[in-house]
Structure 1
Amino acid sequence: MNTQWFEFTKQIKSYYKKDFVPLHEPTFHGKELEYVTDCIETGWVSSVGAYVTRFEKDLAHFTGVKRAVAVMNGTAALHIALKVAGVQANEEVFMPALTFIATANATSYIGAVPHFVDVSEKTLGIDPKKLEAHILAIGDVKNDKLFNKETGRVIRAVVPMHTFGHPVELEELQLVCEKYHLVLVEDAAESLGSYYKGKHTGGFGKVSAVSFNGNKIITTGGGGAILTDDDELANYAKHITTTAKVPHRWEYEHDEIGYNYRLPNINAALGCAQLEKMPQFIEQKRTLTGFYEELVAPLEGVTLFKEPENTTSNYWLQTLILDDTLERDEVLEFLNDNGVMSRPIWTPMHYLKPFIECPRADLSTIEDLEKKVINIPSTPLKI
Structure 2
Amino acid sequence: MHNKLVKFVQEIYETKEFIPLHAPTFTGNEKEYVNNTIESTFVSSVGKYVDQFEHQIEAYTGTAKAIATVNGTAALHTSLYMAGVKAGDLVITQALTFVATCNALYHMGAEPVFVDVSKVSLGLCPKALHAYLEDNAFINNDGLCQDKATKKFYRAVVPMHTFGHPVELDELIAVCVKWNIALVEDAAESLGSFYKGQHTGTFGDFSAISFNGNKVITTGGGGMVLCKSFDDGMHTKHVTTTAKVPHPYEFFHDEAGFNYRLPNLNAALGCAQMEVLPKFLQQKRELAQQYSNFFAGSEFTFFTEPDYAKSNYWLNAIICPNTEMRETFIKETNAQGVMTRPIWKLMHRLPMFENAKRGQLPISEWIESCLVNIPSSPVNNG
Q: TM-score band, normalised by the shorter chain?
A: over 0.9
Matches of 2:326 and 2:146, distance apart in 1: 39
Aligned position for 2:264: 265
Give runs of aligned pairs for residues 1-383 of structure 1, distance below 5 A.
4-19=1-16, 20-142=18-140, 143-297=142-296, 299=298, 301-324=299-322, 326-382=324-380
- Describe the superposition over 1:156-206 as per-residue Cα deviations: whole angstroms up to 9, x where unpaired: 110010000000000111101110001000000000000000000001011
How many angstroms does 1:71 deviate by?
0.3
- Aligned-partner Cα distance in 2 for 1:233–1:209: 14
Partner Cα distance (1:222, 1:5) in 2: 33
Letter in 2 for 1:158: V
| Deviation per residue, 1:240-266 (Å, 9 max, x gap) | 211121211111222222211100001
Offset of 1:326 from its aligned partner? Answer: 4.5
* Aligned-partner SS, 1:371: helix
Percent same amino acid among aligned pairs? Answer: 51
Q: State the Cα deviation string for residues 331-372 of structure 1 (Å, max 9, x = none).
A: 110110111101110111011111111111111111111001
**Bigger CA drift: 8-17 or 277-286?**
8-17
Counterpart CA distance in 1 for 2:70 and 2:341 is 26
In 1, Cα distance between the equivalents of 2:350 and 2:221?
25
Judge conservation of contact 2:323–2:369 (CA < 8 Å) in 1.
Answer: no
- The separation in 2 between residues aligned to 1:351 and 1:229, in whole angstroms, is 34
Q: How many residues get paired?
A: 379
Shift in alpha-carbon separation, 1:197–1:323, aligned structure 2, 3 A? same
Gaps of at least 5 residues in structure 1 are none
Q: Is the 8 A contact 1:13 1:339 kept in 2?
A: no
- Give, in whole Å, the separation in 2 of the partners of 1:87 and 1:230: 18
For residues 235 and 77 of structure 2, the distance between their equivalents in structure 1, rounded to whole angstroms, comes to 13
* Partner SS for 1:365: helix
TM-score using structure 1 length: 0.97
Query: Could you tell me how far apart the structure 1 residues matched to 2:267 and 2:223 are?
Result: 10
If the length of structure 2 is used for normalisation, what is the TM-score? 0.97
Kept in 1, the 8 Å contact 2:323–2:370? The answer is no
Deviation at 1:296, TM superposition (A): 1.7
Contact residue 213 and residue 221 of structure 1 kept, 8 A? yes
CA distance in 2, matches of 1:257, 1:128: 35
Unaligned runs of 5+ in 2: none
In the aligned structure 1, how far is the partner of 2:297 from the partner of 2:117?
28
- Displacement of 1:295: 1.9
Distance in 1, matches of 2:325 and 2:12, equals 26
Please identify runs of 4+ aligned residues in structure 1 that moved more than 6 A. none
Farther-moved stretch of structure 1 (111-120 vs 4-13) = 4-13
Amino acid of the structure 1 residue aligned with 2:6: T
- In 2: Cα distance, 1:6 partner to 1:157 partner: 45
* SS across alignment from 2:373: strand
In the TM superposition, residue 128 of structure 1 has moved relative to its aligned partner by 0.3
